[in-house]
């Protein structure tokens, strides 16, 4: 037989009192916690805008693009066909085709290749993450989330990741131990707009562009009012950390790179996104990387409006490879120009292309960020590997 537990009257009263006291205390603590939580929510900005992963029951297929054969018809030379393959176009490497190597992103941007690990890092801006594609086994994983809606990425001479962050409104460096150093977040005491793309010179100086795309809404950053009067191109001194404006007359400065000898600076202007009379082109300047002085600016290449170019890289011969998208689907992909600005050919991609980089152990594999996917193609040239 089980004997029920019983309490005396005094114990029962004491128990009721203690329970009431505990309940009142708990309720007060809960109210305080809610008040503190509400206050924090009202004053602390989110760590970037967190997106929702893309879900699909029928993802884009990986591997060579449908209909590919050798020589790949996705490679189009600007010159009449006179020899085997696309004549005069260095994208042609023989027995190769454009491949889709990863998919599932909302807006892929800012690729950078790390030779030591044989992987590509690139941004998935709306999903607030940096992705990692392992070249050796094709594995795709999340490298960092949240990423502060990272956009452009590059690498410095010490193998450290340099990242432009939209919602952070800053340029950061990921140290070799994983910690993050803020390189630039203000100019003249005011917040930067939304750093977009960066390049590192051989002297360690960091050059970056600062349009307003990342503060224009809540999809690729955090909506905010610009504090900088102009949309500038900046240089960060490698010794003092001082931030200076090097060019201040862009509508929307975007992709940026150097020539292999670092005597030319190329900067994209995507001002066409703000109005039909604004530019959609690449400009080139003479540059002194040590002093940060640029001169003799001129238009290097016009894009076929309404298309724009967003990102670019140079190969060892000084040719410029740039992305194309947002206009005629037949222009989606990559363009290659001689150092004099002559169009050599196109790589056709079935999505709007934002950015690209050279990678691979021989630096001859071009990685292409096209909207929802990462593409790759072997070329007959090597990237300059000037980050």
Residue predicted with more confidence, 64 or 21: 64
Instruction: Find the Cα–Cα–Cα–Cα dihedral 22, 23, 24, 30, rounded to 10°.
Output: 110
Instruction: Evaluate if residue 10 carries a pLDDT over 90.
Output: no
CA distance 366 to 99: 11
Q: What is the Cα–Cα distance from 54 to 37, expressed in whole angstroms?
A: 30
Please state, as a whole number, how many other Cβ atoms lie within 10 Å of the Cβ of residue 383. 24
* 379: its two tokens: 């070329």
CA distance 10 to 359: 80
What DSSP character marks residue 271? G
pLDDT in tens, 218-260: 999 999 999 999 999 999 999 999 999 999 999 999 999 999 9
H/E element holding 9? helix 9-43
Tokens 């222009």 sit at which residue? 331
Q: What pLDDT sits at residue 22?
A: 44
In this structure, what token pair is assigned to residue 26? 């708990």
* Burial of residue 34 (number of CB atoms within 10 Å: 0-12, 13-18, 19+): exposed
60 or 176: whose pLDDT is higher? 176
Note whether 226 and 239 are within 8 A (CB).
no
Question: What's the whole-number mean pLDDT along residues 103-128?
Answer: 96
- Predicted confidence (pLDDT) per residue in 43-84, tens digit: 566 677 778 877 765 667 888 888 788 888 888 888 876 666
**3-class DSSP string for 10-73:** HHHHHHHHHHHHHHHHHHHHHHHHHHHHHHHHHHCCCCCCCCCCCCCCCCCCCEECCCCCCCCC
Q: What is the model's pLDDT at position 52?
A: 80
């Amino acid at each position: 037989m089980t004997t029920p537990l019983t309490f005396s009257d005094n114990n029962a009263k004491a128990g009721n009192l203690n329970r009431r006291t505990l309940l009142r205390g708990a309720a007060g603590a809960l109210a305080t916690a809610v008040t503190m939580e509400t206050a924090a929510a009202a004053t602390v900005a989110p760590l970037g805008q967190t997106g929702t992963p893309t879900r699909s029951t029928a993802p884009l297929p990986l591997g060579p693009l449908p209909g590919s054969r050798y020589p790949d018809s996705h490679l189009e030379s600007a010159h009449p066909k006179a020899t085997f393959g696309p004549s005069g176009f260095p994208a042609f490497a023989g027995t190769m085709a454009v491949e889709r190597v990863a998919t599932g992103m909302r807006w892929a941007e800012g690729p950078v290749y790390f030779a030591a690990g044989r992987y590509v890092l690139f941004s998935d801006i709306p999903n607030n993450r940096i992705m990692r594609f392992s070249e050796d086994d094709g594995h795709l994983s999340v490298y960092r989330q949240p990423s502060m809606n990272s956009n452009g990425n590059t690498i410095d001479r010490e193998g450290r990741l340099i990242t432009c962050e939209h919602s952070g409104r800053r340029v950061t460096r990921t140290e070799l131990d994983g910690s993050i150093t803020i390189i630039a977040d203000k100019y003249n005491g005011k917040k930067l707009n939304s750093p977009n793309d960066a390049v590192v010179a051989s002297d360690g100086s960091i050059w970056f562009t600062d349009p307003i795309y990342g503060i224009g809404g809540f999809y690729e950053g955090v909506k905010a009012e610009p504090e900088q009067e102009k949309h500038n191109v900046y240089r960060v001194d490698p010794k003092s950390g001082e931030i200076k404006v090097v060019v201040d007359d862009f509508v929307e400065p975007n992709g940026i790179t150097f020539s292999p000898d670092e005597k030319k600076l190329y900067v994209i202007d995507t001002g066409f996104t703000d109005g039909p009379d604004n530019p959609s082109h690449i400009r080139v300047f003479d540059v002194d990387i040590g002093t940060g002085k640029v001169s003799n600016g001129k238009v290097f290449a016009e894009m076929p409006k309404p298309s724009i170019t967003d990102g670019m890289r140079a190969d060892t011969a000084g040719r410029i490879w740039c992305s194309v998208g947002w206009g005629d689907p037949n222009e989606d992909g990559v363009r290659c120009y001689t150092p004099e600005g002559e169009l050599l050919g196109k790589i056709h991609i079935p999505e709007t292309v934002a950015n690209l980089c050279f990678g691979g152990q021989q630096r001859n594999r071009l990685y292409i960020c096209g909207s929802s996917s990462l593409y790759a193609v072997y070329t007959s040239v090597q990237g300059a590997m000037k980050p």
